[in-house]
Structure 1
Amino acid sequence: MFSFKRGKKRQSGLVSIHVSESGVAIASSHGANASKLAFAELFSGTPDTAAPAITAALDKANLTGMRCSLVLSGGEYQLLLVEAPEVPANEMKEALLWRVKDLIQYPTDDALLDYFELPEDAFRGRGQMLYVVVAQRSTVEKRIAWVESLGLTPAYVDIPEMALLNLVEEVCDNEAGTAVLYLDDKSSFLNILSGSSLYLTRALASGSPAALESTVLDLQRSMDYFESQIGKPPCVRILLLPLQVGETALMRELRENLGADVQSFDLADSIASEISLTIELQQHCLLAIAGALRVETRSKG
């Protein structure tokens, strides 16, 4: 159920769920091409303890039965950059599973795997590389069964790195690079885009204030790699998500050390919403909101 292909057309209404240590975040979209956020809420507790409150809220908001995108949490999958095997497309997943089998902690027959490609100019004459996403099938299937128990219809399984593109692609349409920094105490990551296309993604050790120096260094190294090895124009802008409260120490450090325009990304400036996009809501529900505004694949032909 992984699906990482990108497009321009949004889904015709979608509920999205993201589970974190803060609780269970639920969001939904509707309207023309499902481009408007209609609902977002954080439910405290674990998936099981929060289920009754979630079910009641879904019923009240007339969301029962809708298609659902499940955005996995940081510890529920691995994202690996590997060289693409020279095999036909219909054999790619099997070949990739063989290639990463020593990097996962469970049997390959319990692995759920998919991949996404990078733009053709991301390699500069080197062999083609792919990002491989692998998760434990039994874990994902348990979460899918839980989604079904809420009265929703599972349609997609996504990861934060790709879900976030639903929010930032349109504002990263310049050829010059944009670094998108998602901050979380447990699982921060960095995406670097050019012309709305993802060229580089990597996990960061931490996005907490205590790790400020290492975060700045990680970002600097990634931006240097993007320019020197991938051959793209320098990153001129750094977007921080979720929305930060005022001018943070990290923002000051990034601005002083990296010479880029540093902005805290406010959803209220970029998406249509029927609900108030408070700072607290954005900080707790950002990935669920990103999943709800999923972009559909382009039609063929």
Structure 2
Amino acid sequence: MLRFRKKNSRSNGLVAIHLLPEGVALACVASVENKRKLTAAAFLNVSDPLNNPAIVATSVSEAGMANSRCSLVLSSGEYQLVLIEAPDVPKEELKEALLWRVKDMIQYSTDDAIIDYYELPEDAFRGRGKMLYVVAADRKLIAKRISWLESIGLFPEYIDVPEMALLNIAEGLSESEAGTAVLYLNEKQSVINMMSSAGLYLSRALSYDHSVQIDNAVLDLQRSMDYFESQIGKPPCMRIIVMPLQVGETPLMMELRNNLGADVQSLDLSDVVESDEPLTIDLQQRCFVSIAAALRCEESK
């Protein structure tokens, strides 16, 4: 998403960084003996990191991530995700056409917006043309974030968003045609991704605290599963994967099991990610999105 390519890559590894209200989540994935491995992950308890780059830079260096290529994951309120039908234009003209298609749906002017897109599978939304998600962000905000990344010793190559970063893990867990609901839980903004045959068919953001509004979270997931089957035309959802790892039988996990006709599982990253770093519950809770973003499949250079 929103790629920024530097000519001279400094490192074989890719660092992903996610700014959160309580601090900064970092993760680095590198190729080790021809295998992709999480080589480092850390959560920095830094207040106001954007105005304290020197402190963050020191922590980045101490974590062994300095002078690395980087992917910045935007947080809630820093981007918009819009589902639209793809315009019938040549691929080289698609981004410009998309910008004009979504100009009345986003909060930025066409001059201030920077966009990218994610194409849905051909069979998504039967009876309609090809559908895709457009990601839009403020060009000025992105420029400021790039300057900040460079000030802390990182070299920006990608701008990502949680909904798409999660696919780096979810695609490998949803290879069957039977529906898989991926529920990522966060106090500020949770995400529902409806998957089939490793493809994303529907993404929804839940902008409330799931632990406080448990009934709403269950209802929104049920509606997404129903829509996935009735409107998109995919087989019924047979599995719900909850991310990050949940500690014990939480009230939400109990409600999901009691009210939805699907197998409910909570994902332990240790089961799907090879890591040099002990993947403690606390680390998974704080750094899940940054780890997912660092796992992106990069195109050949």
Q: Give matches, 1:262-281, under 5 Å.
A: 262-281=264-283
Q: Which has the higher contact order (CA 8 A, sep 6+)?
A: 1
The CA deviation at 1:118 is: 0.4
1:88 aligns to 2:90 (yes or no): yes
The CA deviation at 1:106 is: 2.7
Residue number among 45, 66, 69 corresponding to 2:68 in the alignment: 66
The residue identity in structure 2 corresponding to 1:78 is Q
Structure 2 match to 1:8: none
Structure 1 match to 2:21: 21
1:113 aligns to 2:112 (yes or no): no
Structure 2 match to 1:261: 263
Residue number among 173, 195, 200 corresponding to 2:197 in the alignment: 195
Tell me the secondary structure at the aligned position of residue 274 of structure 1.
coil
The CA deviation at 1:29 is: 1.4
Structure 2 match to 1:236: 238
The CA deviation at 1:152 is: 1.0
The residue identity in structure 2 corresponding to 1:69 is S
Q: Runs of 4 or more off by more than 4 Å in structure 1?
A: none
How many Å separate the matches in 2 of 1:91 and 1:272? Answer: 40
CA displacement 1:88-116 (0-9 Å, x = unmatched)? 21221111111211222232111011111
The CA deviation at 1:253 is: 0.9
Tell me the secondary structure at the aligned position of residue 282 of structure 1.
helix
The CA deviation at 1:86 is: 1.6
The CA deviation at 1:207 is: 4.2
Contact 1:12 1:34 in 2 (8 A): no
- Determine what percentage of the aligned residue pairs are the same residue: 59
Structure 2 match to 1:134: 136
The CA deviation at 1:47 is: 2.0
How many Å separate the matches in 2 of 1:270 and 1:231? Answer: 29
The CA deviation at 1:78 is: 0.2
From the superposition, tell whether residues 2 and 33 of structure 1 become closer, same or farther in structure 2 (CA, over 3 Å): farther
More helix by share: 1
1:183 aligns to 2:185 (yes or no): yes
Contact 2:18 2:26 in 1 (8 A): yes
Residue number among 144, 157, 160 corresponding to 2:159 in the alignment: 157
Aligned Cα root-mean-square deviation (Å):
1.8
Tell me the secondary structure at the aligned position of residue 19 of structure 2.
strand
The residue identity in structure 2 corresponding to 1:273 is S
How many Å separate the matches in 2 of 1:150 and 1:33? Answer: 29
How many Å separate the matches in 2 of 1:221 and 1:119? Answer: 21
The CA deviation at 1:54 is: 2.7
Unaligned runs of 5+ in 2: 4-10
